[in-house]
Chain A
């Protein structure tokens, strides 16, 4: 690949060296003498559980955080990075897990941020278009971010980094928001970029993914580097062992499909359509029955209407046409936890009290609720100092365990879980999936959506795929689901 900007001389075949990095946040030692050596022209996967220090290490490499101790070398030269602008000027680029784009502005405008002097948007757009063609990252520079799907937004983020002449890209959980075909596309691009001399640091939870694409793998646990090795020398079980530090095999802790005992029909959509605020039909004539004791896997790409289907089933969206027959008590685990499930500034007890708050009358029984919250934390392994802790002080995994516990504790007849393990580490993922399976065993009908069909298949008793607003039941088989996802028969 041809790079614009000032020419550079290759002075080392090592792109990034992080040496003995320490970092402390208050009481928490996030990194203890962590080191990372990334060879030029390779994909280097950084693995670890939530809170292992992956993102912290990357932020230090990108100049966003100062290290307490240790040193950073870029291209073999000692680098004191005061800000991400420093890192960018040395040829680094980073794509964050949560995108940093302004929704109301166009792709070109977003990419032009960080420039100096006169802004000629037409020139920027032309350059972006050229860059997009050359790299195969298809994006319309004049499209507003809000109108782009998640995959396209990610391409804009990558183009933004390349626009700044990045030769070393840090991608933080890039596939967390992507559908399988989108992930494949991203990986194909990464392979080309690396083949042309670029370097990629890939932060991920997904072990298979790391093995599939990485040349080298580094594993962090509790802020320490546990292992660095060529991917070719590793297999899944050794990775699981290194990541969790467990004797037990983490993946086998994830429950498998059981023999379902199908009970009564607890929820039913009958020729239901959902029409959004702009008058677009998102779900057309959906008919679906949910039986006690079974797990229905739901798949669908972004924009297919899958989220509307889940909200119809959860009673959070009223049908535009048709009838929805739903049980009075429904547990709902929404995808966007911090927006739809918890109030971060509220205490856990208050977040617990949210359930049923719409119909509650009279006084709030706070002391009873605090005790109930403490019981819930105990039963569902929610690690927080007390029920009076603010939700925002909990890690993502603990927040999710809290939400799942709150929604499942009263044994609702129907449970709707929307991407419930997104962004969770292996341990928390296994915990949440076990809870869903246990809930079905206890007689709930469970509707489980995941963007990752490999999460669905082991658990689902039936599979439903949403494509372009139509809902279809398919066999619980990888090929059948994959075909239905893209509308192939």
Chain B
């Protein structure tokens, strides 16, 4: 069994290398300065302590939160593709509460802001959960629609009720230092949110493998009918729990961005983290510990791609192309293996 698992991760590693090589080949064909682009990609992601601690890890942090959110939901067969909206809901709530409690000491104010983010994310996903359980609305549709509602809601809030006092910029006022997540390393942008996310990944893994509630989640995802019939598991209860937990993780990701990186809410606070999350989770095959690695990889790709655009004039959307190809490659390979195995 271990041999089989190892083979799958080896295949993933090979897929990553092959796809990055193929994309570089494309760059050469396209007339770009490929060696320079590759150097920029590497330097931008890992080339300096700034690259690692202020670019790669900063981008990996929200990806880890939302990757966990999506991974947990998918494990239970809940196709939550609304991590983006849940992240925005969490960011909004964290900003609102953070502004309100700025007078409190950090040990009180910060947990309040983060908690508000988690609750708001859970509530946002809970809408989709309620629609599914009450009316049978497919969560693929409802969570996606809720993403748009959340995005436009943020646009309106930062131009209306939550706009900063001077009413010049479409953003909220800046959060007081008492609701800032502390930096992890002095002089770098990586913040305590990364630690929190890693701890949550380990916790998610432990809950899934070692507790009764985690077992229920996995059983419902792997065979809902048997879980219900042989296990007496109440599907609606487990499904509702997963919607809430998944949304809370994504919401916490949004809260961590607001309190750790941007210190204010504005439009476009998320460059599509909630969508990349699907790729992060799938590349890791929904394994919480592997999601740590795939979030770091995607964080590095995005940090490197930004550098590549600056230094070698290669469009940074290339990172998205690579991400998509990675997931397609891994899924196709797993599918082919699965078919041969039968």
Contacts and interface: CB of A to CB of B under 8 A. Distances in A.
Contacts of B215: 350, 353, 357, 360, 364
A120 interface: no
Chain B interface residue number, banded: 20 to 34
B3 interface: no
Given A354-B219, A357-B219, A358-B232, A364 B226 contact: no
Given A346-B219, A357-B219, A339 B226 contact: yes
A403 B219 CA distance: 16
A485 to B, nearest CB: 26
B230 A364 contact: no
A361 B234 CA distance: 14
Given A343-B219, A343-B226, A346-B219, A357 B232 contact: yes
B184 interface: no
Given A357-B212, A363-B212, A316 B219 contact: no
A332 interface: yes
Contact of A355 (B1, B211, B223, B230): B230
A135 to B, nearest CB: 34
Contacts of B214: 364
Interface in B164-221: 209-212, 214-216, 219
A334 interface: yes
Nearest to A339: B225
Contacts of A344: 223
A359 B212 CA distance: 9
Contacts of A481: none
Contacts of B226: 339-343, 354
B1 A332 contact: no
A138 B69 CA distance: 52
A364 B214 CA distance: 9
A388 interface: yes
Interface in A316-345: 316, 332, 334, 339-345
Given A332-B230, A357-B232, A358-B234, A343 B212 contact: no
B231 to A, nearest CB: 4
Contacts of A279: none
A360 B216 CA distance: 9
A360 B212 CA distance: 6
B225 A346 contact: no
A350 B231 CA distance: 11
A358 B222 contact: no
A362 interface: yes
Nearest to A361: B212
A343 B50 CA distance: 48
Interface in B82-110: none
B229 A362 contact: no
B233 interface: yes
Given A346-B222, A362-B212, A316 B227 contact: no
Nearest to B237: A358
Contacts of A342: 223, 226, 230
Contacts of A334: 229-230
B83 to A, nearest CB: 25
Contacts of B230: 332, 334, 340-342, 351, 354-355, 403, 406
A356 B225 CA distance: 15
A445 B74 CA distance: 41
Contact of B233 (A341, A357, A362, A363): A357
Nearest to A389: B1
Contact of A358 (B1, B209, B223, B231): B231
B210 A357 contact: no
Contacts of A359: 232
Contacts of A360: 212, 215
Contacts of B210: 363-364, 366
Interface in A341-390: 341-346, 350-351, 353-364, 366, 388
Contacts of A366: 210
Contacts of B223: 339, 342-346
Nearest to B214: A364
Most A CB contacts (10 A, CB to CB) among B215, B219, B226, B232 go to B226
26 contacts: A332-B230, A340-B225, A340-B226, A340-B230, A341-B226, A342-B230, A343-B219, A346-B219, A346-B223, A351-B230, A354-B227, A356-B231, A357-B216, A357-B219, A357-B227, A357-B232, A358-B216, A358-B231, A359-B232, A360-B212, A362-B212, A364-B209, A364-B210, A364-B211, A364-B215, A403-B230
